[in-house]
């Protein structure tokens, strides 16, 4: 079972704490069980016969026992909490590492929402169960059995009362729990649902506003919200009944003990003190039963969560990176594709079909082609965001999958088509690829990326805060920052995925003029929309439907390649029309 294997695996490390919890709880329970019998003695041997000395002495012992119980109970909770939180932390870390190791394909298949829930909420449920187990699962049975033994020692004649009240309470609470469980399961689903709706709306808030979809989205949210409210109300109703019913059972049991016990005291079968102790033991037993039942109520929920975590942890990443460097780090940065074919799992047509080309260091390779031609996927293959089904991709002769993550990251920098910035500052984002870059290097990169002016205008300059995803800067600014980020890293290979299209023609030209100096000696691969961006390139690859249908310089392609001619013609027409 996932729950047991997961928790055991992580709890092992804390065995000393767990032993401490067990010992402390045992002590605490023994003390708790001892107190009523001391109390009984005070009544029967002290008060009843007027032995003040005995009262003082036993009272003192009681005080000590109570104080000792307090201390060990605190200790037990402390170590229990340390263990549970530790297990939670380790589990969260394992989930995080797993998510980190998943390839892009598996991560997208799970989806960000459920990955986040599994790493936070689900782990928390498991952690909660560990905490509860350590706190109650040990003490509840001891308390119950010990309580029964002690109660019978005080008065065996009333034992039937113990059995009856335990049975009644157990049946009632179990019935309620049995009604609660399915509701809890539904509730988890509804929480997932409302999270999903909320998440999508926040992510898409600009689109929602632009298309005035608020009424529709609000309705969608209201539905999810009402569903969760309905379930919560049902749960609440059961809880509302639960406590009065439990209290009623406890009070009835008390009344019964006093009623039947009274007769026995009258008949001289037991003493008053024993009866008091019996009553206290009965309460302890019933409490233990209740705790036990509540505990079992938590288990199914934690089981579901543990299974969800297990499913994630058992997912083998379809990609693996070598842990240590087995081949020398590339020194030049020559990229070579040989008959590379890649398709998304389940799709019938490959997205990249039999692609072969070489991008030389110090040269610029441009890729042009209509939308959906496979340009982005081609770049992503170099970074191993996907692995091809056939063919080989090498850097300086070394297969990309022989390089460690760090080697690959040091060698290749990507300016993604949809740039993403991280929460922090402009400087922290620019240093993403090389943490030790100094401010002068950052400014230099910004100058090349044509981002210098707008950063200078910021009040805090390089220290200007950037929000998660980079949503507080404009699209064009985000693109320039992401170009600068790649430049700061100083890799051997630069991949620009359509990075210049958001720039106006003049800025585009300035950037292209500054770029060769900054990227000198490096392999530069540029995906472009505008022919004007790439006329100077040493080599242009024309892509269509996942295939490379033409290669050569601008002039060569203009003379021979029909697809290229078509692209040039359509862009000329646009320019003329404008
Ligand atoms: C090439 C398909 C897409 C297109 C083809 C990222 C992604 C792409 N595709 C999928 O099926 N699943 C995916 O997760 O692959 O896509 P591309 O390489 O992104 O195209 P592009 O960069 O040449 O286009 P553009 O618009 O950026 O110029 O058929 O459906
Ligand atoms: Mg693209």
CATH number at residue 179: 1.20.1560.10
Claim to verify: residue 299 and residue 179 sit in the same structural domain: yes
Nearest Cα neighbor of 416 from 447, 376, 450 is: 376
Q: What is the pLDDT of residue 499?
A: 87
DSSP 8-state class, residue 469:
B
Claim to verify: residue 417 and residue 306 sit in the same structural domain: no
What whole-number distance in Å separates Cα of residue 433 and Cα of residue 413? 8
Whether 266 maps to a domain, the answer reads: yes
Whether 327 maps to a domain, the answer reads: no
Instruction: Give residues with Cβ within 8 angstroms of 334, minimum separation 6.
Output: 358, 359, 360, 361, 395, 396, 397, 523
Claim to verify: residue 212 and residue 351 sit in the same structural domain: no
Of the ligands numbered here, which is closest to the C-alpha atom of 345? 1
Distance 161 CA to ligand 2 centre (A): 77
Claim to verify: residue 278 and residue 392 sit in the same structural domain: no
Nearest Cα neighbor of 153 from 27, 273, 291, 29 is: 273
Distance 204 CA to ligand 2 centre (A): 21
What whole-number distance in Å separates Cα of residue 578 and Cα of residue 434? 43
Q: Which of 281, 313, 345 is the last residue of a domain?
A: 313
Spatial contact of 507 and 531, defined as CB atoms under 8 Å apart = no
DSSP 8-state class, residue 339:
E
What whole-number distance in Å separates Cα of residue 60 and Cα of residue 101? 61
The CATH number of residue 506's host domain is: 3.40.50.300
Q: What is the pLDDT of residue 340?
A: 94
Q: Whose CA is nearest to atom 8 of ligand 1?
A: 377
DSSP 8-state class, residue 412:
E
Claim to verify: residue 250 and residue 342 sit in the same structural domain: no
Q: Which of 313, 348, 382 is the last residue of a domain?
A: 313
Q: How far is it between the farthest Cα atoms of the chain?
A: 121
Ligand 1 mutation pick, 374, 496, 548, 563, max ligand atoms within 8 A of CB: 374
What whole-number distance in Å separates Cα of residue 37 and Cα of residue 46? 13
Q: Whose CA is nearest to atom 12 of ligand 1?
A: 344
Q: What ligand 1 atom has the least distance to the C-alpha of 373? A: 23
What whole-number distance in Å separates Cα of residue 50 and Cα of residue 32? 26
3-state SS class at 494: strand
Q: What is the pLDDT of residue 474?
A: 87
Claim to verify: residue 268 and residue 410 sit in the same structural domain: no
3-state SS class at 479: helix
Spatial contact of 416 and 464, defined as CB atoms under 8 Å apart = no
Whether 480 maps to a domain, the answer reads: yes
**Strand-pair partners of 424:** 466
Whether 364 maps to a domain, the answer reads: yes
Q: Tokens 């905490």, residue?
A: 131
> DSSP string of 497-559?
ES-STTS-HHHHHHHHHHHHHHTTTSEEEEE-S-HHHHTT-SEEEEEETTEEEEEE-HHHHHH
Instruction: Give residues with Cβ within 8 angstroms of 491, minimum separation 6.
Output: 333, 410, 411, 412, 413, 433, 522
- Radius of gyration of the chain measured on its C-alpha atoms: 36
Whether 318 maps to a domain, the answer reads: no
Domain count of the fold of the chain: 2
Give the strand pairing for 412-415 and 364-369.
unpaired
Domain hosting 31: range is 2-313
Q: What is the pLDDT of residue 578?
A: 67
Claim to verify: residue 56 and residue 117 sit in the same structural domain: yes
Q: Exposed e or buried b for every residue in 359-371, given b needs 16+ CB within 10 A?
A: bebeebbbbbbee
Spatial contact of 155 and 264, defined as CB atoms under 8 Å apart = yes
Claim to verify: residue 297 and residue 341 sit in the same structural domain: no
Ligand 1 mutation pick, 373, 414, 529, 530, max ligand atoms within 8 A of CB: 373
Ligand 1: residues with CB < 6 A are 344, 347, 351, 369, 371-377, 417, 498
- The Cβ-side half-sphere exposure at 98, using a 13 Å CA radius, reads 20
DSSP 8-state class, residue 423:
S
Nearest Cα neighbor of 120 from 100, 101, 104, 96 is: 96
Residues with pLDDT less than 50, the chain: none
Q: Which of 313, 345, 363 is the last residue of a domain?
A: 313
> Distances from the Cα of 271 to the Cαs of 205, 255, 283, in angstroms?
74, 17, 19
> Distances from the Cα of 554 to the Cαs of 500, 533, 551, in angstroms?
18, 11, 9
> DSSP string of 311-330?
HHHH---S----SS--SPPP
Claim to verify: residue 125 and residue 180 sit in the same structural domain: yes
pLDDT in tens, 230-280: 998 998 888 888 888 888 888 999 999 899 988 988 888 888 888 888 888
What whole-number distance in Å separates Cα of residue 442 and Cα of residue 451? 11
Whether 319 maps to a domain, the answer reads: no
Q: What is the pLDDT of residue 82?
A: 94
Claim to verify: residue 90 and residue 140 sit in the same structural domain: yes
What whole-number distance in Å separates Cα of residue 308 and Cα of residue 122? 8
pTM assigned to the model: 0.76
Claim to verify: residue 439 and residue 383 sit in the same structural domain: yes
Q: Tokens 């309580």, residue?
A: 147
Q: List CB-based neighbours of ion ligand 2 within 5 Å.
A: 376, 417
Whether 301 maps to a domain, the answer reads: yes
Claim to verify: residue 375 and residue 242 sit in the same structural domain: no
Helices (H), 344-462: 375-382, 405-411, 426-430, 439-448, 452-457
Number of H helices, E strands in the chain: 21, 12
Q: Whose CA is nearest to atom 14 of ligand 1?
A: 344
Q: What is the pLDDT of residue 541?
A: 94
Whether 476 maps to a domain, the answer reads: yes
């Amino acid at each position: 079972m996932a729950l047991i294997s997961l928790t055991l695996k992580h709890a092992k490390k804390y065995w000393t704490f767990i032993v401490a919890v067990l010992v402390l709880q045992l002590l605490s329970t023994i003390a708790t069980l001892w107190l009523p019998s001391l109390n009984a003695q005070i009544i029967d041997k002290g008060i009843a016969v007027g032995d003040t000395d005995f009262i003082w002495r036993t009272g003192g012992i009681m005080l000590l026992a109570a104080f000792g119980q307090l201390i060990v109970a605190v200790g037990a909770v402390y170590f229990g909490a340390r263990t549970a939180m530790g297990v939670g932390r380790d589990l969260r870390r394992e989930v995080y590492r797993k998510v980190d190791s998943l390839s892009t394909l598996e991560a997208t298949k799970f989806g960000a929402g459920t990955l986040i829930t599994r790493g936070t909420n689900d782990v928390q449920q498991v952690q909660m169960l560990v905490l509860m187990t350590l706190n109650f699962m040990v003490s509840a049975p001891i308390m119950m059995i010990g309580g029964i033994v002690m109660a019978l020692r005080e008065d065996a004649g009333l034992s039937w009362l113990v059995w009856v009240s335990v049975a009644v309470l157990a049946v009632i609470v179990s019935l309620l729990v049995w009604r609660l469980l399915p509701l809890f399961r539904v509730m988890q689903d509804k929480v997932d649902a409302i999270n999903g709706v909320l998440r999508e709306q926040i992510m898409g808030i600009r689109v929602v506003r632009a298309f005035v979809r608020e009424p529709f989205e609000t309705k969608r949210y209201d539905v999810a919200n009402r569903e969760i409210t309905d379930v919560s109300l049902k749960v609440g109703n059961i809880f509302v009944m639960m406590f009065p019913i439990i209290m009623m059972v406890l009070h009835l049991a008390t009344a019964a003990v006093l009623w039947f016990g009274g007769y026995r005291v009258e008949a001289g079968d037991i003493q008053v003190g024993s009866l008091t102790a019996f009553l206290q033991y009965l309460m302890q037993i019933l409490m233990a039963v209740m705790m036990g039942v509540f505990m079992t109520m938590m288990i199914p929920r934690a089981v579901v969560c543990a299974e969800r975590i297990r499913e994630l942890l058992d997912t083998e990443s379809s990609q693996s990176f070598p842990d240590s460097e087995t081949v020398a780090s590339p020194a030049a940065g020559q990229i070579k594709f040989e008959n590379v074919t890649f398709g998304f799992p389940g799709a019938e047509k490959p997205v990249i079909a039999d692609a072969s080309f070489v991008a030389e260091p110090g040269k610029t390779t441009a890729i042009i082609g209509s939308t959906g031609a496979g340009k982005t996927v081609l770049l992503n293959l170099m970074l191993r965001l996907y692995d091809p089904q056939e063919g080989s991709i090498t850097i300086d002769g070394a297969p990309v999958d022989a390089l460690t993550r760090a080697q690959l990251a040091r060698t290749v920098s990507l300016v993604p088509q949809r740039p993403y910035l991280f929460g922090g500052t402009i400087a922290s984002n620019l240093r993403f690829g090389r943490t030790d870059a100094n401010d002068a290097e950052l400014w230099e990169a910004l100058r090349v990326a044509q981002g210098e002016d707008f950063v200078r205008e910021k009040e805090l300059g390089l220290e200007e805060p950037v929000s998660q995803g980079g949503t507080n800067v404009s699209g064009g600014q985000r693109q320039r920052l992401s170009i600068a980020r790649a430049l700061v890293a100083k890799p051997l290979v630069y991949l620009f995925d359509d990075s210049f299209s958001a720039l106006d023609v003049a800025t585009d030209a300035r950037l292209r003029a500054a770029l060769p100096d900054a990227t000198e000696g490096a392999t530069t691969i540029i995906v472009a929309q505008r022919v004007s961006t790439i006329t100077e390139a040493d080599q242009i690859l024309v892509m269509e439907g996942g295939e490379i249908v033409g290669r050569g310089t601008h002039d060569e392609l203009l003379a021979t390649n029909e697809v290229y001619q078509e692209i040039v013609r359509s862009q000329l027409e646009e320019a003329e029309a404008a």
